[in-house]
Amino acid sequence: MIRQSVCNKIYIYHMNQTIYSVITGTGSYLPERVVKNEEFLGCQFYGNDHQPLDKSNEEIIQKFLEITTIAERRYVADDQLTSDIVHLASARAIEAAGIDPETLDYVIVAHNYGDVLPGSNRVDIVPCVAARVKHLLGIKNPATVAYDVPFGCPGWVQAMIQANYYLRSGDAKRILVAGGDTLSRISDPHDRDRMIFADGAGAVILEARPSDEPVGMLVHKTRSDTFLYSKMLQMGPSLNPAEYEATGNLYIRMNGRRLYMYALEHVPQAIKDCLDAANLQLSDISKVLIHQANGKMDDAILDRLYSLYDMTPPADVMPMTISWLGNSSVATVPTLLDLIVKGQLAPHEIKKGDTVVVASVGAGMNINAFVYKMA
């Protein structure tokens, strides 16, 4: 036996076995309010020149659907905050794992804006969302450390990478890794890009497991292109000058065309670098679970990835939810994973022994990925 001790944490593992990070439970929360594209017909959209767009909303919405494949999305109820929906997703992951939440060593929550109140878009992250989620879960253990990861849309993937370090080092045995956002409350009502954004939350329980064979998270890669691309996603005033003068609110602002080209250029290579580090070929991968940002963009990324191997993507290799859930930022990947694991995204399934690659891209600009083998 080998004994590992960090401060007051002592975990015992079998000699000659490697410790891996394995998902033992998943959970997600899909807000009940379904918002279809038709609900935006009454909006007054403005362009980057701060002038009303000269196209009809019917034409704007139809073009939006063609570009993004998004037909509907989910919004939280007025009495819900980010911490509330992350709590619900986390409770479901805890239940699925069959664990006592008091035994968690860490609660790590990825998000971007904290608890934004309805009718406002002020960021509220004091105390941090993870602390609020820990409180809502009723966890009394002071050794359960709660903290946030604000890392753009790749935040949940990065939180998983951090958790992996804790588990592999022996500092932790069991970690809740969650992500959630309420982007509907920080998107400009006069920007057509608001139709991209949605609300949601997802979570997993990640545990240390000794194994003779590689399982769980095998390798990971992250890159941050801040010198040239840090402002492709940022906060800015409404495209309607009158709205900004009246409220002073800042909203999420996106350079969609440049972001599309950046993602297409760098995400496929980042995934390949991750596979190379794992000594795997793309043909070894059962599923590609990618951040649900834009349907057409994700299709283009997949095509570019497979072209690096002179291959054509299989029809069922990349499950998609964006057409009906929209882009819920950090929540898209854990939600996607939970739906597949729970059998709610048929015909997609992930079986024991399958190897999947998980990847995301977003504000920073940040890209990350990890390779995971189902235990």
Do the Cβ atoms of 30 and 325 come closer than 8 Å? yes
- Confidence (pLDDT) at 11: 52
Pairwise CA distance, residues 89 & 112, whole Å:
17
The interaxial angle of helices 295-307 and 256-277, nearest 10 deg, is: 40
238 closest CA partner among 230, 246, 228: 246
Percent of the chain scoring above 90 in pLDDT? 87
| Whether the predicted pLDDT of 17 surpasses 90 | no
Pairwise CA distance, residues 236 & 232, whole Å:
11
Pairwise CA distance, residues 174 & 180, whole Å:
20
| Whether the predicted pLDDT of 135 surpasses 80 | yes
Among 86-95, 153-162, 206-215, the least confident range: 206-215
> pTM here?
0.93
| Whether the predicted pLDDT of 9 surpasses 60 | no
Q: What single-letter DSSP state applies at residue 32?
A: S
Question: Confidence band (pLDDT; 50, 70, 90) for 375?
Answer: confident
Specify the length of the chain in residues.
Answer: 375
Do the Cβ atoms of 153 and 294 come closer than 8 Å? no
| Cis preceding linkage at 347, omega within 30 | yes
| Whether the predicted pLDDT of 5 surpasses 80 | no
- Confidence (pLDDT) at 240: 93
- Confidence (pLDDT) at 32: 96
H or E stretch at 68: helix 57-68
Amino acid letter at 124? D
- The set of residues, in sequence order, having a beta carbon less than 8 Å from that of 67 and lying 6+ positions away, is 294, 296
pLDDT in tens, 267-287: 999 999 999 999 999 999 999
Pairwise CA distance, residues 126 & 136, whole Å:
15
Amino acid letter at 111? H
Q: What is the rounded average pLDDT for all residues in the chain?
A: 93
- The set of residues, in sequence order, having a beta carbon less than 8 Å from that of 344 and lying 6+ positions away, is none
Write out the E strands in the chain. 2-6, 9-13, 18-29, 33-36, 72-75, 106-110, 145-149, 174-182, 199-211, 216-224, 233-237, 250-254, 287-290, 355-362, 366-373
Do the Cβ atoms of 282 and 275 come closer than 8 Å? yes
- Confidence (pLDDT) at 16: 65
- Confidence (pLDDT) at 338: 98
| Whether the predicted pLDDT of 7 surpasses 60 | no
H or E stretch at 120: none
Q: Which residues pair with 204 in a beta bridge?
A: 26, 177
Pairwise CA distance, residues 212 & 126, whole Å:
43
Domains for the chain: give ranges and CATH numbers. 2-34+74-211 (3.40.47.10), 216-373 (3.40.47.10)
* Owner of token pair 């196209």: 55
- Confidence (pLDDT) at 121: 81
- Confidence (pLDDT) at 1: 43
Pairwise CA distance, residues 107 & 125, whole Å:
15
Question: Confidence band (pLDDT; 50, 70, 90) for 14?
Answer: low
**Which burial class, exposed, middle or buried, applies to 346 when counting CB atoms under 10 A from its CB (0-12, 13-18, 19+)?**
exposed
pLDDT in tens, 27-60: 999 999 999 999 999 999 999 999 999 999 999 9
Q: What is the mean pLDDT of the segment spanning 346-350? A: 94
Question: Confidence band (pLDDT; 50, 70, 90) for 256?
Answer: confident
Question: Confidence band (pLDDT; 50, 70, 90) for 119?
Answer: confident
Q: What single-letter DSSP state applies at residue 112?
A: S
pLDDT in tens, 234-246: 999 999 989 888 8
Q: What single-letter DSSP state applies at residue 128?
A: -
Do the Cβ atoms of 40 and 61 come closer than 8 Å? yes
Amino acid letter at 273? D
